[in-house]
Chains A and B, each alone.
Chain A
Amino acid sequence: MTIVYEDEETQGDVPVRRIKFTINGKKMIAEVETRLLLAHLIRRGIGLTGTHTGCDTTNCGACTVLVDGRAVKSCTMLAVQVDGHEISTVEGLATASELHPLQEGFKEEHGLQCGFCTPGMMMAAKALLDANPDPTEEDVRWALSGNLCRCTGYQNIVKSVLWAAAKLRSESAG
């Protein structure tokens, strides 16, 4: 996103816009090419590489982040569209001392193998659990149907999300 040219003559006519946004609670300002994808702003610009790009066509969901709390595939959203909005990525799930129950759940229930789809899965699951703290297995399968995994067969991913939901409920009850 930041390009240093050798001299003025080689500089192309690249339209750049200044945007303000919040990511994982931190306020930021960026100057971006208008065609820059949100996934690339997050990965290359901000350096948060937990958000992965898998398919470029909004199918695999590895790039899922939350924008104002909604699960969004960041490979098909322009960076300029988050001007004035709030983004959450996988790096924002845990606090310094504590994992999010979703993170614990994925480890407990063996919900990941290669780990590539995992951040997107967890973010899609977070959007579900924020809206529905007590989902059924079917609810979870439907909420994750925009995220592809080639390793696990999903059964343990579903269990992981249900594990996290139960823990979140017991935490809020306690």
Chain B
Amino acid sequence: MSQALDELKIGGLGASRKRVEDNRFIRGKGNYTDDITLPGMLHMEILRSPMAHARIKSIDASKAWDIPGVHLVLTGEMMATRNLAWMPTLSYDTQAVLATDKVRFQGQEVACVIADDPYIAKDACEAIEVDYEPLPVIVNPEQAVAEGAPVIRDDKENQANNVIFDWEVGDAAGTDRAFEQADVISKLKLHYPRSHPSPIECCGSIADFNRATSKLTVYMTTQAPHIIRAAVALVAELPEHMIRIVSPDIGGGFGNKVPVYPGYVCSILASILLERPVKWIEDKTGNLISTGFARDIYLSGEMALRRDGKILAVRMNCDSDHGAFFSDAQPSKFKIGLLHSAFAAYDIPVAHLTDRGTYTNKAPGGVAYRCSFRVTEAMFFQERMMQAAADDLGMDQAAFRRMNFVRDDDFPHRTPLGFLTDSGQYAKCLDVGLKAIGYEDFRREQAEARKHGRLLGLGISTMTEPLGAGNSREYDILGIKMFDSAELKIHMTGKAIVRTGAKTQGQGHETTWAQIVSHELGIPAEDIVVEEGDTDTAPFGMGTYASRSTPVAGAAVAMVSRKIRAKARKLAAHLLEVSEEDIEWELGRFYIRSAPDRGVTIQECAMAAYSNMPDGMEPGLENTAFYDPPNLTWPFAVYIATVEVDPETGVWDVLKVVAVDDCGVRINPMIVEGQIMGGLTEAYAMASMQFITFDADGNCVGANYMDYMLPSAWETPGFELHSEVVTPCPHHPIGAKGIGECAAVGGPAAFVNAVMDALSDTGVRNIDMPLLPDRVWEAITYQHDVSGAPPVRSDD
């Protein structure tokens, strides 16, 4: 009998296979949007508004037109003649492409110049004269709903104020009744600051309209090329088969590259008008002040508790700041995304949540920044609330969580706000985390240190979150249901190509999709090439964000492999001259049950599909699978951080970080760990330094990397990762769950809880993120809560 294949050796499931895509990146041979040059290509730059809210009295572009090398100046007025001054958003609102009536946030797109060279285009932008009449500015929801507040969206009929929506979910009356029964009611109020995903590569596009063929090709930084194709077809009314969207290598996305931005639209129109390729590459300031932000939500809530620590009910009342246009890039049917996934890890009988969305004079486009649509805010509030409640009860942080966890045998579990969680071993993960951090020892050390005036703290964050939109019942984008597909072609020599509608941006799909095929078919991973990102060749898919690639597209890859295996089985029966029922499968090979030595490899089946198929069988070995997941996937994680706070300066140092992630079956453990470390770093960034705020005039503070602080290798702590708890997803074909965002979602609360734990003697209940030294110092010195909500204080 032949030697069975060793799955790890052929790069199958569970192999920490080195990444295929690295071969080009380490040589500087990646192909990012800005690396592409087309013959006759022109360059576009955008003129942005310096004002946050102002009426446009006039735009004089005559001096720009006079500059040699300028081919076109686009203004809102010109866009309006083509019905393109406004575009629909992914949240069923409208957004200005180029401003016509007024500007509504600092950095809004006012005009575009297309020139021979980007330097000339920038010169010409500066030569455009815009006369603005300033209007009162709104930078937070409180100002937005104040009496007499100016109406930001006066372009919309029936919009008499700045409220976008009032949304609620849960059982209000039942929650009220539960609160009446409470022994203790714990309360918390905080602001999750505005942040920006800020991939190092900014957004950009090269539109290439070919008059001769009527075909529009757009190379662009998009995480979801098929969605863009649909949007261009529907908005610009171009025929869908004449639109080709190519997403080349992407220099990080994190949600920033999901929406449709005015720059893309303008470059497309310019290419159609000029019949030449037009390249637009955003600068960093443009990226930070105008493209999809994240968070910016005011969360307040209360928890009804029994004296022994049992949670009886939770109430949350939130205010979300959406900026000037409601263009949240989220596909759920819920107005504020999956905010109501809060407290899903805990067994709570009843809950109620409200959110009011408001317009402000800030950049639009709340995106899911390494997050499934407001899950980050939900889990942050949850874990800050858990800490506050445990403190109010005088209970141990770990014991309080453990007591309220959904138990391993309680699945499937319906949360009080409507989700169905399906699997997990929460207490076991917590045990692993506590042991790794040395919980009991640290508590002793902490008590001892405090006697000497040293402030040590430990923060715990435990959470499960919903990853992998769809299902198609509750998730769609502009009516297009959330599913994915994969196409697999086995060539006659047994080599293969797999394509999906997802789009890798660092997640390593070119490596991991091959591993799934390898697991299902026994073809060595190195014999399988992966392609994504070109709508002319990739099968339809909803793109990569919200940790959905493995749950949805990855599942489609497994399913199409199984279709191929089913046909290969018929070919094997034909080759072995037995009936299909007499055949067994082992990795890479079919054999006769009664004579295991007689078998054929998957490669031999592939050759037979082209050279020796049975009579009546359709030749070839190719297929496509569409996958609509039955539920979201629910990974669970425990993040624990310890810190030391310097009471003299408010500076805090991270002592140790432990992460226990149960994301089900890991396709490539090396890549999973890379994702977790990246997420933890963004969590640390949000907790410690990274935020965007605004002054009272609506000026963006955080408009470049000198103000928008990102941690470097010097500031970033080390991480200790644990993978020993594995609860396979019950409905995913290979048992995998999403993972890309978990640490960014659950991590921030671990750091903040640690600092707050160090400050527990001060009576301070909350310091808003980021925990800048001056905020921590202020809390210690004046023993009061510190708010970080805009407008910015003069000393921030």
Binding site for B on A (CB under 8 A): 1, 3-5, 10-12, 33, 35-36, 43-44, 47-57, 59-60, 62, 89-91, 93-94, 99, 103, 106-108, 110, 112-119, 122, 140-142, 144-158
Q: Offer 28 A-B interface pairs, CB within 8 angstroms, sorted by A.
A: A1-B117, A3-B117, A10-B69, A12-B68, A33-B119, A49-B28, A50-B28, A56-B284, A59-B705, A91-B27, A99-B27, A107-B23, A107-B26, A110-B671, A112-B26, A113-B506, A114-B201, A115-B24, A144-B714, A145-B715, A150-B710, A151-B506, A152-B681, A153-B677, A153-B678, A154-B713, A155-B719, A157-B713
Report the stretch among B246-254, B611-619, B692-700 that lies at the interface: B246-254
Find out whether the CB atom of A116 lies under 8 angstroms from the CB atom of B28.
no
Query: Which residue from chain B places its CB closest to the CB of A53 in the assembled complex?
Result: B34
B153-210 residues with Cβ-Cβ distance < 8 A to A are 198-202
Return chain B residues, CB-CB under 8 Å to A108.
18
Find out whether the CB atom of B198 lies under 8 angstroms from the CB atom of A91.
no
B291 on interface, CB distance cutoff 8 Å:
no
Find out whether the CB atom of B716 lies under 8 angstroms from the CB atom of A116.
no
Return chain B residues, CB-CB under 8 Å to A55.
200, 284, 704-705
Given known A116-B200, A119-B28, contact A145–B19 (CB-CB < 8 A): no
- Give Cα A52–Cα B729 distance, bound, in whole angstroms: 40
- Give Cα A165–Cα B524 distance, bound, in whole angstroms: 32
What's the least CB distance linking A53 to chain B, in Å? 7
- Give Cα A156–Cα B714 distance, bound, in whole angstroms: 13
Find out whether the CB atom of A57 lies under 8 angstroms from the CB atom of B705.
yes
Find out whether the CB atom of A150 lies under 8 angstroms from the CB atom of B252.
yes
- Give Cα A101–Cα B18 distance, bound, in whole angstroms: 16
B507 on interface, CB distance cutoff 8 Å:
yes
- Give Cα A10–Cα B18 distance, bound, in whole angstroms: 54
What's the least CB distance linking B16 to chain A, in Å? 8
What's the least CB distance linking B225 to chain A, in Å? 16
Contact of B29 (CB < 8 Å), options: A11, A50, A110, A142: A50
Return chain B residues, CB-CB under 8 Å to A144.
712-714
Return chain B residues, CB-CB under 8 Å to A48.
28
B474-498 residues with Cβ-Cβ distance < 8 A to A are none
Find out whether the CB atom of A149 lies under 8 angstroms from the CB atom of B69.
no
What's the least CB distance linking A77 to chain B, in Å? 16
Find out whether the CB atom of B116 lies under 8 angstroms from the CB atom of A3.
yes
B283 on interface, CB distance cutoff 8 Å:
yes
B103-126 residues with Cβ-Cβ distance < 8 A to A are 116-117, 119-120
Query: Which residue from chain A places its CB closest to the CB of B18 in the assembled complex?
Result: A107
Return chain B residues, CB-CB under 8 Å to A91.
27-28
Return chain B residues, CB-CB under 8 Å to A117.
200, 251
Binding site for A on B (CB under 8 A): 18-19, 21-30, 32, 34-35, 37, 67-69, 116-117, 119-120, 198-202, 249-254, 283-285, 505-508, 670-671, 673-675, 677-682, 704-706, 710, 712-716, 718-719
Return chain A residues, CB-CB under 8 Å to B30.
50, 115-116
Find out whether the CB atom of B26 lies under 8 angstroms from the CB atom of A150.
no
- Give Cα A11–Cα B329 distance, bound, in whole angstroms: 45
Find out whether the CB atom of B674 lies under 8 angstroms from the CB atom of A114.
no
What's the least CB distance linking A163 to chain B, in Å? 13
- Give Cα A91–Cα B682 distance, bound, in whole angstroms: 30
Candidate in A51, A93, A115 with the most chain B CB atoms within 10 angstroms:
A115
- Give Cα A5–Cα B115 distance, bound, in whole angstroms: 12
- Give Cα A131–Cα B492 distance, bound, in whole angstroms: 53
Return chain A residues, CB-CB under 8 Å to B682.
150
Query: Which residue from chain B places its CB closest to the CB of A158 in the assembled complex?
Result: B713
Query: Which residue from chain A places its CB closest to the CB of B504 in the assembled complex?
Result: A114
Find out whether the CB atom of A54 lies under 8 angstroms from the CB atom of B200.
yes
Find out whether the CB atom of A57 lies under 8 angstroms from the CB atom of B18.
no
Candidate in A11, A110, A156 with the most chain B CB atoms within 10 angstroms:
A110
Contact of B21 (CB < 8 Å), options: A3, A44, A115: A115
Find out whether the CB atom of A114 lies under 8 angstroms from the CB atom of B199.
yes
Known: A3-B69, A116-B200. 4 other contacts (CB 8 A): A117-B251, A142-B714, A145-B714, A152-B677
Given known A110-B670, A112-B25, A153-B681, contact A5–B68 (CB-CB < 8 A): yes
Return chain A residues, CB-CB under 8 Å to B671.
110
What's the least CB distance linking B754 to chain A, in Å? 18
Given known A114-B250, A115-B506, contact A94–B677 (CB-CB < 8 A): no
Find out whether the CB atom of A57 lies under 8 angstroms from the CB atom of B704.
yes
Return chain A residues, CB-CB under 8 Å to B670.
110
Query: Which residue from chain A places its CB closest to the CB of B718 in the assembled complex?
Result: A155
Given known A54-B201, A110-B670, contact A90–B28 (CB-CB < 8 A): yes
Query: Which residue from chain B places its CB closest to the CB of A108 in the assembled complex?
Result: B18
What's the least CB distance linking B316 to chain A, in Å? 30
Find out whether the CB atom of B285 lies under 8 angstroms from the CB atom of A56.
yes
What's the least CB distance linking A139 to chain B, in Å? 11
Find out whether the CB atom of B251 lies under 8 angstroms from the CB atom of A52.
yes
